[in-house]
Amino acid sequence: MLGYLGPEGSYSHICAKKIAEVFALSPLIPYKTISEIYKALEQKEINFGLLPVENSLGGSVPETLDNLLFAPQSLQVRLEWVLMIEHCLIGFDLNINEIRAHFQAFAQCDNYLNKYYANANKKEMSSNSSAALSLLNEKENKAAICSKEAAELYKIPIIAEKINDFTENFTRFWLAGWENLPPKNNNQNLISLAFRIPQDLPGGLVRVLGPIAERGINLSKIESRPTKSRLCEYSFYIDLINSSKADQELLKELQSLCSYFKFLGNYPVWPLNDLRFLGN
Amino acid sequence: MLGYLGPEGSYSHICAKKIAEVFALSPLIPYKTISEIYKALEQKEINFGLLPVENSLGGSVPETLDNLLFAPQSLQVRLEWVLMIEHCLIGFDLNINEIRAHFQAFAQCDNYLNKYYANANKKEMSSNSSAALSLLNEKENKAAICSKEAAELYKIPIIAEKINDFTENFTRFWLAGWENLPPKNNNQNLISLAFRIPQDLPGGLVRVLGPIAERGINLSKIESRPTKSRLCEYSFYIDLINSSKADQELLKELQSLCSYFKFLGNYPVWPLNDLRFLGN
């Protein structure tokens, strides 16, 4: 039972299918929002939920982070999958006067669209999948931006591939669940932590990062987020690489320096083996 | 000449009007995208551009940060304005079967909508302003979510005020420009920096944060962002409070520890005087 952010043909769906194939998970169940996936997980309607956590161009997905912060402790990240995002232009008619897509896809293909379709009307849709689907009923003079997989799913001709301006466009997905997946290979692991530090403690962040650096552990991400309930309170999210050096002793030491501390997971990263290096 | 993210009635527009009033700036010019505001700034079509940089619920706005990273050095942040976001439900008919809004507004009013309008159809629009505008032609059974100011601008009755689930919903806006604004009062200043640290340098981040903490300077934000051009390279964005302690000597020291270093601005924060304290 693997929940993902629908509809069919979304990048979440593509990622869910890849994970389901490797780990023999089924069925795949689409949800409308990230919060609905968390509710289904907490009520144990599904074993695993796939959650977009960060896009290289669009930034973090706060809904995923904030929900996980308040989830039960044993609901943890069990896997990360890094999906390369490649947009296609699709349609039945090469004479195009309107292009449909999610606004983020327009932003990510800005140079391409300005070069080849500067005069086409841009119609914002709620998702690229719904943009693609809408072409089935309006074939003349219309095109859409979506994944190759969605084009194939809906049997719509591909006009151009890889039209995104930056080829390094990837999304990190987290598979959250109540239990670990069976180990499959020697992919590197990340450890994700969330914490708050006591207010009015100058240098508090350096104190927390110090013991991590001393052990030669690098960060692959750090981010501060305002806590929803209070304007002046922030939570930090960090991802550690070289996770084998992060033992219980370190975690206890970090916890003692924080006013709030949550272990989000220790999980393998697929399919890349060359982890992003942040330099700590 | 102050450029903002349109259309009229957007939260950017509300913020632009507040700033224009205090600093006697005019006219206000709407743009369609953040990148277009930057282009207009670089070509000096406008003196100042207003850019959303972070929402307490939605997170950072990468387009604002990434564009500023690559802007000319003398194009800097000159002011921050923190705007409280308060959504209203508006419409001409209390018998509502469809509610229109930007998808983020739906997410921010989820509890309210589930409680009072669980059966209404939710129609995603490209912005709350366009949702409001669309009611002018379809008055029966339709409602929209938008700001109080947009409701007043378009003369649409307000059905309910402050319908967002979390009252602490605010957006930080940066006013970027080629020159400083005249000093107006004793608001506290922030300094914003962007930097990269040399790869394969464990503890590099702690080394950069160390001299900041030693001077008793606190951070109000820290964030790592993947660099667009390379998968394994990250940029850091930090905001410093107590900016008077951050002298040229400190900035030079930090620069020497970084492989890339950009001073984004030293600017007053309006209208709040109680700056968010991150604890460094």
Which residue in the block uniquely carries the two structure tokens 């030491």?
A253
Same domain as A226, residue A95: no
* B 225-244 residues inside an 8 A Cβ radius of A: 225-226, 228-232, 234, 236
pLDDT interval class at B203 (50, 70, 90): confident
Q: Which residues of A touch B61 (CB under 8 A)?
A: 59
Domain range for B198 is: 189-270
Same domain as A16, residue A80: yes
The partner residues of A89 in beta bridges, in order of sequence, read A145, A160
- The number of domains in chain B is 3
Give the gap in angstroms from C-alpha B133 to the nearest C-alpha of chain A.
16
- Domain stops at, among B177, B208, B230: B177
> How far is Cα A21 from Cα A4, in angstroms, rounded to an integer?
15
In contact, A202 and A241? CB cutoff 8 Å: no
Query: Residue B275's closest CA among B227, B237, B243, B234?
Result: B243
- pLDDT-flagged residues of chain A (< 70): 199-202, 227-233, 242-243, 272-280
pLDDT interval class at B224 (50, 70, 90): confident
The burial of A44, by beta-carbon neighbours within 10 Å (0-12 exposed, 13-18 middle, 19 or more buried), is given as: exposed
Provide the whole-model pTM. 0.80
Same domain as B173, residue B51: yes
Same domain as A173, residue A69: yes
pLDDT interval class at B276 (50, 70, 90): very low
Mutation target for B interface from A33, A65, A168: give the one with most B CBs within 10 A.
Answer: A168
C-alpha distances (whole Å) from A247 to each of A259, A263, A273, B276 are 20, 12, 22, 33
Same domain as A101, residue A80: no
Same domain as B74, residue B8: yes
The amino acid present at A167, given as its one-letter code, is T
At residue A179, the 3 state secondary structure works out as: coil
The answer to whether B280 contacts A206, with C-beta atoms less than 8 Å apart, is yes
H/E run at residue B9: none
| Predicted confidence (pLDDT) per residue in B45-88, tens digit | 999 999 999 887 777 888 899 899 889 999 999 999 999 888 99
The answer to whether A166 contacts B277, with C-beta atoms less than 8 Å apart, is no
In contact, B245 and B218? CB cutoff 8 Å: no
> How far is Cα A216 from Cα A241, in angstroms, rounded to an integer?
10
Q: What is the 3-state secondary structure (H, E, C) of B75-105?
A: CEEEEEEEEECCEEEECCCCCCCEEEECHHH
Is A184 a member of any domain? no
pLDDT at A280: 37
Structure token digits, residue B195: 């930097």
Inter-axis angle of helices B204-214 and A204-214, to 10 degrees? 150
- Domain stops at, among A177, A206, A227: A177
Same domain as A173, residue A76: yes
Give the gap in angstroms from C-alpha B227 to the nearest C-alpha of chain A.
8
Is B275 a member of any domain? no
pLDDT at A113: 93
The bridge status of strand A121-124 relative to strand A98-101 is parallel
CB of B97 less than 8 A from some CB of A = no
Structure token digits, residue A71: 């989830």
Q: Which residues of A touch B219 (CB under 8 A)?
A: 205, 224
Mutation target for B interface from A164, A223, A259: give the one with most B CBs within 10 A.
Answer: A223
The partner residues of A49 in beta bridges, in order of sequence, read A3, A176
| Predicted confidence (pLDDT) per residue in B129-159, tens digit | 889 999 999 999 999 999 998 899 899 999 9
Same domain as A54, residue A92: no
Same domain as B47, residue B103: no
Is A201 a member of any domain? yes
pLDDT at A227: 66
In contact, A244 and A189? CB cutoff 8 Å: yes
Is B25 a member of any domain? yes
The bridge status of strand B189-196 relative to strand B234-240 is antiparallel
CB of A219 less than 8 A from some CB of B = yes
Inter-axis angle of helices B62-69 and B34-42, to 10 degrees? 20
| Predicted confidence (pLDDT) per residue in A197-256, tens digit | 876 566 788 889 999 988 888 888 898 887 655 445 678 999 998 667 788 899 999 999
Is B240 a member of any domain? yes
In contact, A260 and A235? CB cutoff 8 Å: yes
Same domain as B105, residue B209: no
C-alpha distances (whole Å) from B260 to each of B70, B73, B192, B237, B256 are 11, 13, 14, 12, 9
| Predicted confidence (pLDDT) per residue in B192-202, tens digit | 999 998 765 66
Angular region, B123: left φ>0, alpha ψ -120 to 50, beta rest: beta
What CATH number is associated with residue B57? 3.40.190.10
| Predicted confidence (pLDDT) per residue in B8-54, tens digit | 888 899 999 999 999 999 999 999 888 899 999 999 999 999 999 98
Phi, psi of A106 (to 5 degrees): -60, -45
pLDDT at B232: 53
pLDDT at A278: 42
Is B202 a member of any domain? yes
ipTM, two decimals, is: 0.73
Q: What percent of chain B has pLDDT over 70?
A: 92
Mean confidence (pLDDT) of chain B: 87
The bridge status of strand A98-101 relative to strand A59-60 is unpaired
> How far is Cα A222 from Cα A212, in angstroms, rounded to an integer?
13
In contact, B63 and A58? CB cutoff 8 Å: no
> How far is Cα A87 from Cα B146, in angstroms, rounded to an integer?
32
Q: What percent of chain B has pLDDT over 90?
A: 54
> How far is Cα B130 from Cα B145, in angstroms, rounded to an integer?
10
Is B145 a member of any domain? yes
Query: Residue B128's closest CA among B102, B164, B165?
Result: B102
Same domain as B111, residue B45: no
Same domain as A117, residue A80: no
pLDDT exceeds 50 at position B278 = no
Q: Which residues of A touch B237 (CB under 8 A)?
A: none
What CATH number is associated with residue A241? 3.30.70.260
Query: Residue A86's closest CA among A162, A159, A8?
Result: A162
Is A280 a member of any domain? no
In contact, A277 and A220? CB cutoff 8 Å: yes
